[in-house]
């Protein structure tokens, strides 16, 4: 029997608010332990939560971008369980009444578009961090993260391969970044993904037993963990076994999933409405206001870049993977309309520098205006394309204007006919054999002459002009 995987995804996205969901502590990552806490997020006796309006707004923003219905009357519930990084002994979440429902996201997998249904997205607070150490009888708890706002985005089981999952996750991350909702950093845990996966015989409409996967903190691990789990479950079924409903952790070290340790008592979270919070009513006006501020989303922008600028799909998808990058590209094209050339520079030189220096596109010292200026220098023959490429790292490092640097370093191309002719004649004189070959009809030596002339000029000669003049001079010599 052949089996096919049925995969659904739960994604926890940390919302980019300045402060926590229910208190004014900052959400900054990587600070000293327990330095971002207050009575509310420490769960001190008597402290009470008050919801951060911005977090609700970001949830609405995401919901609209994912074509969800936005719930008008929102209530919060307590999810009760004990864990050291959960200071109140309950997590404030939304249970039966998520703020966003029934949406979808289209993803492109191997050139075909697939619509993934979003079941729900709801607001909840994050837990702190527990550090477990080997060979020690205690664990350590840091509550800095406790209370950070999360949006949990849950799909229907519409995905069928690790490629689809990764494509969905990337598309979702791009959208969240476009919206300024989440920085999408999987390694730092601001985007966390928990797939659930089951197998069923091909053609069957019944769902098999579901396994949940946790501890996945990069796109690579998503793919690896799902591929591993599909193979594992297939093997179990083929050997006549049955799949246990369980949660498995991805052990990246060993490259396999392992069962999460002992859950002897079935979970009973005893959800009930949190009496400390009042309902959040999302009005038509509020939704309209948020909608008015939504940016053009990556997929729409990608399609537009392809039609408007004639870019290939690959270029358009790279450029739109990040809002700042697409903004950069379009700002530059507005000043220098050769989209293809701009796109090559942005995808090549700019992204390389950004990556190498660990910077960001927004903060690029080479502004779109600088890049346009640089490309204009190439267009007008002042410098060669090669020089422009070579110059880019320095421009990025210094932030100076390209014209100024070209001027300072004397990099202008030499197009003066007199100069060029004297170099050409010198080269032809010193290479009589090659001239003879040319005269016998071997045109390929032309490249050799160009190279020699460039060398003689110290790289500054305008190669196009050199080419042109060489032909003229050689033609004259041939006649003579």
Partner 1 sequence: MRLSEAEVEHVGALARLALTPDEKEAFRLQLSRILTYMDELRVVNTDGITPMSGMRTNENVFRSDEPQEAFPQEQALANAPDSQDGYFRVPKILRDR
Partner 2 sequence: MSLVKLTLRELQERFTRGEVSAFEIVRAYYLRISLVEAKVKAYVTVNDKETVFAEAQALDKELKAWRKTLPLMAMPVAIKDNICTAGMRTTCGSRMLEGYVPPYDATVVQALRAQRCVIIGKTNLDEFAMGSSTEHSAFGPTRNPWKLSHVPGGSSGGSAAAVAADECVAALGSDTGGSIRQPAACCGVVGLKPTYGRVSRYGLVAFASSLDQIGPITKDVMDAAILLNILAGRDPRDSTSADVPVPDFTRAFKKKDVKKLKIGVPVEYFGEGLDAEVREAVQAALEVLEQLGGELQEVSLPHTNVAVATYYLLATAEASSNLARYDGVKYGLRSKHHQDLLEMYCRTRQEGFGPEVKRRIMLGTFALSRGYYEAYYAKAQAVRTLITQDFDTAFQSVDFLITPVMPTPAFRLGEKLDDPLQMYLADIYTLSASLAGIPAIAIPCGFSRQGLPIGIQFMGRPFEEETILRAARAYELATQWRQKRPPIREK
321 binds, among partner 2, partner 1, none (CB under 5 to 8 A by kind): none
Choice between 93 and 343, CB closer to partner 1: 93
47 binds, among partner 2, partner 1, none (CB under 5 to 8 A by kind): partner 2
Shortest CB 61 distance to partner 1, Å: 14
Note whether 394 binds partner 1 by CB under 8 A.
no
Choose, by CB under 8 A, the member of 19, 80, 234, 437 that binds partner 2: 80
Structure-token pair, residue 7: 């995969």
What value, to the nearest 5°, has the Cα angle with vertex 449 and ends 446 and 451?
110
Choose, by CB under 8 A, the member of 11, 70, 141, 176 that binds partner 2: 141
Choose, by CB under 8 A, the member of 56, 123, 311, 372 that binds partner 1: 56
Choice between 21 and 325, CB closer to partner 1: 21
Note whether 260 binds partner 1 by CB under 8 A.
yes
Specify whether the CB–CB gap between 395 and 441 falls below 8 A: no
- x-marked contacts with partner 1 along 115-144 as a string, rule CB under 8 A: ---------------xxx---xxxxxxxx-
Cα–Cα distance for residue pair 358/378, rounded to 1 Å: 28
Choose, by CB under 8 A, the member of 241, 255, 279, 359 that binds partner 1: 279
In terms of Cβ atoms closer than 10 Å to its own Cβ (0-12, 13-18, 19+), residue 7 is buried
- x-marked contacts with partner 2 along 86-105 as a string, rule CB under 8 A: -xxxx---------------
Question: Closest Cα to residue 215, out of 242, 255, 244?
Answer: 255
Note whether 244 binds partner 1 by CB under 8 A.
no
Structure-token pair, residue 265: 């008592």
Q: Token match 């003689």: residue?
A: 456
DSSP, residue by residue, 309-346: H---HHHHHHHTSSHHHHHHHHHHHHHS--HHHHHHHI
Cα–Cα distance for residue pair 302/171, rounded to 1 Å: 12
- In eight-state DSSP terms, residue 199 is E
- x-marked contacts with partner 2 along 15-44 as a string, rule CB under 8 A: ------------------------x--xxx
Q: Which of residues 279-308 bind partner 2 (CB under 8 A)?
A: none
Q: Which stretch binds partner 2 (CB under 8 A): 45-53, 194-202, 223-231, 410-418?
A: 45-53
161 binds, among partner 1, partner 2, none (CB under 5 to 8 A by kind): none
Given phi > 0 = left and psi -120 to 50 = alpha, else beta, which region is 111? left
Shortest CB 55 distance to partner 2, Å: 14
Note whether 52 binds partner 2 by CB under 8 A.
no
Q: In this structure, which long-range contacts are made by residues 339-348, counting pairs with CB atoms below 8 Å and at least 24 apart in sequence?
A: 339/309, 339/310, 339/311, 340/310, 340/311, 341/375, 342/371, 342/372, 342/375, 343/309, 343/311, 343/315, 343/319, 345/371, 345/374, 345/375, 345/392, 346/319, 346/371, 347/315, 347/318, 347/319, 348/389
Structure-token pair, residue 188: 């730092």
- How many residues line the site for partner 1 (CB under 8 A)? 56
Per CB under 8 A, residues contacting partner 1 are 17-19, 22-26, 32-38, 42, 50-56, 75, 81-84, 130-132, 136-143, 247, 249, 260-265, 268, 270, 272-273, 275, 278-281
Per CB under 8 A, residues contacting partner 2 are 39, 42-51, 78, 80, 82, 84, 87-90, 139, 141, 143, 268, 270-272, 274-278
């Amino acid at each position: 029997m052949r089996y096919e995987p049925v995969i659904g995804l739960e994604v926890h996205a940390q919302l980019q608010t300045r402060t926590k969901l229910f208190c004014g502590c900052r959400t900054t990552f990587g600070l000293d332990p327990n330095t971002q806490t207050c009575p509310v997020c420490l769960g001190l006796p008597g402290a009470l939560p008050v919801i951060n309006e911005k977090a609700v707004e970001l949830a609405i923003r995401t919901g609209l971008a994912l074509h969800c219905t936005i719930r008008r009357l929102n209530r919060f519930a307590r999810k009760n369980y004990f864990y050291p990084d959960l200071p109140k002994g309950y997590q404030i979440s939304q249970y039966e009444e998520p703020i966003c429902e029934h949406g979808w996201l289209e993803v492109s997998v191997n050139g075909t578009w697939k619509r993934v249904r979003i079941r729900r997205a709801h607001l909840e607070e994050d837990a702190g961090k527990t550090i477990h150490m080997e060979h020690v009888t205690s664990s350590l708890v840091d509550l800095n993260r406790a209370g950070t706002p999360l949006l949990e985005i849950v799909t229907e089981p519409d995905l069928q391969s690790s490629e689809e999952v990764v494509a969905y996750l990337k598309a979702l991350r791009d959208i969240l970044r476009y919206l300024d909702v989440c920085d999408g950093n999987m390694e730092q845990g601001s985007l966390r993904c928990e797939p659930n996966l089951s197998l069923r015989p091909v053609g069957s409409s019944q769902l098999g037993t579901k396994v949940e996967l946790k501890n996945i903190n990069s796109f690579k691990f998503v793919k690896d963990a799902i591929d591993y789990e599909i193979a594992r479950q297939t093997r179990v079924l083929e050997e006549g076994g049955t799949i246990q409903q369980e949660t498995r952790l991805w052990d990246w070290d060993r490259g396999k999933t392992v069962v999460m340790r002992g859950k002897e008592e079935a979970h009973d979270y005893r959800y009930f409405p949190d009496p400390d919070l009042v309902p959040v009513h999302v009005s038509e006006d509020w939704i309209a206001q948020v909608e008015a501020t939504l940016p053009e989303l990556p997929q729409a922008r990608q399609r537009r870049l392809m039609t408007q600028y004639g870019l290939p799909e690959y270029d358009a998808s790279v450029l739109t993977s990040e809002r700042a990058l697409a903004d950069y590209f379009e700002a530059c094209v507005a000043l220098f309309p050769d989209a293809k050339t701009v796109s090559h520079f942005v995808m090549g030189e700019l992204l390389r520098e950004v990556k190498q220096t660990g910077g960001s596109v927004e903060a690029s010292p080479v502004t779109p205006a600088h890049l346009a200026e640089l490309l204009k220098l190439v267009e007008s023959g002042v410098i060669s394309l090669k020089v422009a490429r070579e110059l880019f790292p320095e421009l990025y490092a210094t932030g100076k204007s390209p014209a100024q640097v070209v001027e300072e370093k004397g990099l202008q191309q030499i197009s003066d006919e007199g100069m060029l002719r004297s170099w050409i004649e010198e080269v032809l004189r010193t290479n009589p054999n090659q001239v003879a070959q040319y005269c016998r009809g071997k045109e390929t030596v032309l490249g050799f002459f160009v190279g020699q002339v460039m060398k003689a000029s110290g790289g500054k000669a305008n190669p196009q002009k050199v080419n042109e003049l060489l032909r003229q001079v050689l033609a004259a010599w041939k006649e003579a």
